[in-house]
Amino acid sequence: MPLYADIVLPLAQPEYTFAIPEGMTVEKGCAVAVQFGAKKIYTGIVWRIHDRRPNVKTVKPIQARLYDEPLLSDAQMQLWEWMADYYMSSLGEVMRVALPSLMKPSATTQSRFEEELFRPRKELYFLLSPAFRERTHLDEVLDQLERRARRQYDALLEIITTVQPDALKTDTLSPEVFETEVPRRLLDSELSVLRALEKKEYILPVEHEPSTEQGKVRFRLPELTPHQQEAYTLIKEQFANGKSAVLLQGITSSGKTEVYIHLIAEVLSQGGDVLLLVPEIALTAQLIERMERIFGSRVTPYHSKLTDVKRSETYLRLNRSQGGSFVVGVRSSIFLPLKHLQLIIVDEEHDASYKQADPTPRYQARDCAVMAARIFSSKTLLGSATPSLETWLNATSGKYGYARLTERYGEGRLPEILISDTLRAARRGERHSHFNQLLLDKIEDTLSRGEQVMLFQNRRGFSPYVECTECGWTARCKDCNVSLTYHKASGRLVCHYCGHSEPMPKKCPSCKVTDLVPMGFGTEKIEEEILKFFPKARVARLDRDAVTSERAFNAIINDFAEHRTDILVGTQMITKGFDFDGVSLVGILNADNLLANPDFRASERAFQLMIQVAGRAGRRASGGEVVIQTSDPRNPVLRQVVEGDYEGMALTQLREREEFFYPPYSRIISFTLRHRDIQLLRRAAVELSAALRKIFGRRLMGPMSPPVDRIRGEYLISMLLKIESGASARRAREIIRREMERFHAQSDFKYIEILINVDPQ
Ligand code: ADP
Ligand code: ZN
Ligand code: ZN
């Protein structure tokens, strides 16, 4: 008889064993309350049930079982296990990101715990008494009530007519009147009146959690073009032929989403579940709306803007669903309990936001989706105009299926892309502030035709650093090793790493001679400057500073969509998922800082970003233009952007990656050591790297200083392991785990944090 349960707690700890008290039934995947440590009560998940008493003095009992049903299916548990193993975290750390916080409270007292735990709210329903199937009885009662208790009469009628509006006009009540639970919230009658009817047993109260009404099963879909139809058929064939993942590579506006819609409809109408992963929900509000127009109430959004109550409700509702659910959500939706999952679509699969940066597990939701498809026996479709090189290699090597869309839908043409040399413009006196004459001319033309412009700059704020021209002093964060960004509107210098801000000094704090000069430029400065050239234009800005709330975000987007603004200046935020029909010119103000990144993915990312920004132009027949300003016009990546030559880019980059043994030809695991004491940290880094080097030899690089080597007062030292893909990766993880334990067992280094990042991006 099983007496013990190994329980996962939301901590960086292994599972602990608790006793199952007599009379309590628990199953794998159940949530329970347990006491752990001195006093604290935690939510835990039952992972294993067995009869081996652990070797400790007392085994604490489980305090309570928390929900009626298990919160995790076997498949979900397998996914968690894979993630914990692959991303080198504990199951507890997976639990921390996987469940909404109200579903996993921890507290020091029982009552506090109870208070915090999410319980789905119940709703009150009323059912008509079956005694009224006898029509004469009903008529008698109604007669009586009409004379003596008018409000009860109205209430009883309200319940009946809510289900059958013409009930009084016919002799026969439909059977539905006796079968339908009428929600209290739909009734106008007062509760006291309803309770009075209840007392007389004319109506019966029923209380339960709100039911999930599933929408229609057949959906009205736009017809696919022959090309789209071909891609659609090919995808289905490849799924049927055993590919669990397929790449759909289609240029912007080619109708990838239309193909998704057809695949989704098919799964839903068969009662299966679909998960559509999207990069950032605020940026994909349009996509959700588009899905809701077709799939109605089937669509379940899941993202960071939802309240925790809503997330918990969603989790439990899906957990009980009989299938036919459709979630549109950000990376954490990979954890939702979709028991009938048949299809996962990862839109813009190359997007970096699928990778969780912090905290651990630093998972990549796209890769998890591919793994989940295997575990759940479902399928994964990866969609992008500019796939990640990892995915593209998998598709072209035959590991994944591969379908393509190479034409824009309808009359839309791809925009023409022009490279504008900033140095040459400067030499010729054709550079004005941050704009080359060419770009200014194009903006002028566009505005005079009554069309719209988007300007892209990947830095927010006014200027990324301020400098004293007299003594060379620059403003730096006191806690981080980075320069402070000047934000003109607030008059402050802001650290983009820790959020610290201080007023902009009037005079140079060092020599006290001159004023400080803002150097470089961010979106705020572009917004200000562009108005000098086009004072009549209506200019708006979209970046993290402008978007103070979801409402502010929507306002900026709607103003632009409805052409109340002419020019939209923005960061990455403007690149994703918008269909603005009126945009015919896109300007990329500085391609240099995209290309010059010291990262092996810099060229790939620059290409993806520029193609995506460019794709915002000319979604209508008139076509469009893109101007890219750069001081390095001969850069091969720029040529590839101009020609829309994804394959050229991919082949060049892959050749380099292969030569230098970078992903996808190797796997990277990075280690970042973190501590306030730089001396201790250096010693630790030397020691750990020596230990790892003994095993991994030249596969280990470092220790080295990361580009920003101090954040929030803590120093950082990193090292990097490049290992062969395949089976040896698992072996490597085992070794690393062992070495980490050994390292932390040394008393000196006990408090040195090591952040492990598998497949860093
Ligand atoms: P992508 O996802 O590849 O960027 P979309 O699916 O958003 O492309 O299509 C671009 C535009 O063309 C959208 O406004 C979409 O409604 C329209 N469109 C694409 N295919 C069709 C189709 N078969 N029927 C009607 N409209 C379509
Ligand atoms: Zn800082
Ligand atoms: Zn100075």
**Closest-CA residue to 542 (of 481, 583, 499):** 583
Would you state the pLDDT for residue 727? 62
| 733-752 average pLDDT score | 89
Query: pLDDT grade, residue 8 (50/70/90)?
Result: very high
Least confident among 66-80, 121-135, 611-625: 611-625
CB contact set of 508 (below 8 Å; sequence gap of 6+): 468, 470, 471, 473, 514, 515, 516
Separation between Cα atoms, residue 613 and residue 236, nearest integer Å: 31
Cα dihedral sign, 671-672-677-679: positive
Would you state the pLDDT for residue 75? 96
pLDDT surpassing 90 at residue 678? yes
Range picked from 537-551, 591-605, 632-646 for highest mean pLDDT: 632-646
225 CB under 6 A from ligand 1?
A: yes
Separation between Cα atoms, residue 688 and residue 683, nearest integer Å: 9
CB contact set of 110 (below 8 Å; sequence gap of 6+): 41, 63
The ligand whose atoms approach the alpha carbon of 499 most closely is 2
For residues 417 and 617, the answer to whether their CB atoms sit within 8 Å is no
Query: pLDDT grade, residue 210 (50/70/90)?
Result: low
**Closest-CA residue to 759 (of 661, 673, 650, 670):** 670
Q: Cα torsion for 236, 240, 243, 247, to the nearest 10°?
A: 0
Separation between Cα atoms, residue 404 and residue 235, nearest integer Å: 10
Would you state the pLDDT for residue 675? 93
Would you state the pLDDT for residue 585? 93
Query: pLDDT grade, residue 514 (50/70/90)?
Result: confident
Q: Ligand 1 pocket: which of 232, 249, 252, 257 to mutate (most atoms <8 Å of CB)? A: 257
* 3-state secondary structure at position 317: helix
The chain-wide mean pLDDT, for the chain, equals 90
Least confident among 15-19, 144-148, 550-554: 550-554
The ligand whose atoms approach the alpha carbon of 484 most closely is 2
Would you state the pLDDT for residue 216? 42
252 CB under 6 A from ligand 1?
A: yes
pLDDT in tens, 557-585: 889 989 999 999 999 888 765 677 788 99
For ligand 1, the distance from its centroid to the CA atom of residue 355, given in whole angstroms, is 27
For ligand 3, the distance from its centroid to the CA atom of residue 518, given in whole angstroms, is 13
Ligand 1 atom closest to the CA of 228, numbered from 1 = 23
pLDDT surpassing 60 at residue 215? no
For ligand 1, the distance from its centroid to the CA atom of residue 411, given in whole angstroms, is 11
Separation between Cα atoms, residue 66 and residue 94, nearest integer Å: 19
pLDDT surpassing 50 at residue 223? yes
**Closest-CA residue to 545 (of 607, 499, 584):** 499
For residues 75 and 376, the answer to whether their CB atoms sit within 8 Å is yes
